[in-house]
Amino acid sequence: MRKKCKYPCGPGLALLAASIFLVTAHVTATPVKKFDLDRFIEPDTCGGCHWEIQEQWTHSMHNLSHKDPVYNRVAKFLRRGLVVAGEIEEAESCVKCHTPVGVITGFPEKLSDDLSKTPEIATQGIQCDYCHSAVDTTRMYNNGLVLAPGHGEDDPGVKQGPFDDSEPDFHEAAFSKLHQSSMICGTCHNVKHVAFGTDLETTYTEWENSPYNDPDPEKQVTCQGCHMYQRPGIPATGSTERPKNPGTAAEDSVERDHIFTHYFVGANTGVTGARDKQKMAEERLQNAAQISLNTQQLAKKQLDVMVLNSGAGHSIPTGVGDLRQVWLEISIRDAHQKLVFQSGFLDAKKELSDDTIIFRTVLGDGSGNRVVNLAKAKQVLSDTRIPAKQKVTQTIALDFIPEKGSVIVARLLYRGMPQKILNMIPGDPISPLPVVEMARVSQTL
Kindly identify the residues of this chain, within the stretch 346-385, that bind ligand HEC according to CB under 6 A. none
Q: Residues 211, 228: contact at Cβ < 8 Å?
A: no
- Bridge partners of 307? 291, 392
Q: How far is the CB of 30 from ligand HEC (least distance, A)?
A: 14
Q: Does 416 bind ligand HEC (CB under 6 A)?
A: yes
Q: Does 35 bind ligand HEC (CB under 6 A)?
A: no
Q: Does 238 bind ligand HEC (CB under 6 A)?
A: yes
Site for ligand HEC in 87-106 (CB under 6 A): 90-91, 93-94, 96-98, 100
Site for ligand HEC in 120-179 (CB under 6 A): 126-129, 131-132, 142-143, 156, 159, 161-163, 166, 168, 170-171, 173-175, 179
Q: Does 277 bind ligand HEC (CB under 6 A)?
A: no
Site for ligand HEC in 56-75 (CB under 6 A): 57, 61-62, 64-65, 68, 70-71, 74-75
3-state secondary structure 281-293: HHHHHCCCEEEEE
Closest to 201 (Cα-Cα) out of 107, 136, 266, 259: 266
Element (H, E) at 394: strand 391-397
Q: Does 231 bind ligand HEC (CB under 6 A)?
A: no
Q: Residues 277, 263: contact at Cβ < 8 Å?
A: yes
Whose Cβ is closer to ligand HEC: residue 177's or residue 301's?
177
Quote the DSSP letter at residue 364. Answer: E
Q: How far is the CB of 227 from ligand HEC (least distance, A)?
A: 4
Indicate the burial class of 273 (C-beta count within 10 angstroms; 0-12, 13-18, 19 or more).
exposed
**Widest distance between CA atoms in the chain:** 76
Q: How far is the CB of 89 from ligand HEC (least distance, A)?
A: 10
Q: How far is the CB of 159 from ligand HEC (least distance, A)?
A: 4
Could you say which of 27, 46, 82, 147 contacts ligand HEC (CB under 6 A)? 46
Closest to 327 (Cα-Cα) out of 388, 273, 239, 392: 392
Could you say which of 88, 101, 104, 249 contacts ligand HEC (CB under 6 A)? 249
Helix (H, G, I), strand (E, B) or coil at 18: helix
Site for ligand HEC in 197-226 (CB under 6 A): 201, 203-204, 207, 212, 221, 223-226
Q: Does 119 bind ligand HEC (CB under 6 A)?
A: no
Residue type at 401 in one-letter notation: I
Strand order across the beta sheet in which 302-309 lies: 289-294, 302-309, 391-397
Q: How far is the CB of 258 from ligand HEC (least distance, A)?
A: 7
Q: How far is the CB of 407 from ligand HEC (least distance, A)?
A: 28
Q: Residues 209, 159: contact at Cβ < 8 Å?
A: no
Element (H, E) at 429: none
Q: How far is the CB of 52 from ligand HEC (least distance, A)?
A: 9
CA distances from 343 to 159, 290, 331 (A): 52, 19, 7
Could you say which of 49, 82, 88, 363 contacts ligand HEC (CB under 6 A)? 49
Q: How far is the CB of 41 from ligand HEC (least distance, A)?
A: 4
- Residue least distant from ligand HEC (Cβ): 319
Q: Does 410 bind ligand HEC (CB under 6 A)?
A: no
Helix (H, G, I), strand (E, B) or coil at 173: strand
For ligand HEC, how many residues bind (rule: CB under 6 A)?
A: 101
- Report the distance separating Cα 404 and Cα 287, nearest Å: 32
Helix (H, G, I), strand (E, B) or coil at 441: strand
- Report the distance separating Cα 237 and Cα 262, nearest Å: 15
Site for ligand HEC in 279-318 (CB under 6 A): 281, 284-285, 288, 311-314, 316-318
Whose Cβ is closer to ligand HEC: residue 167's or residue 399's?
167
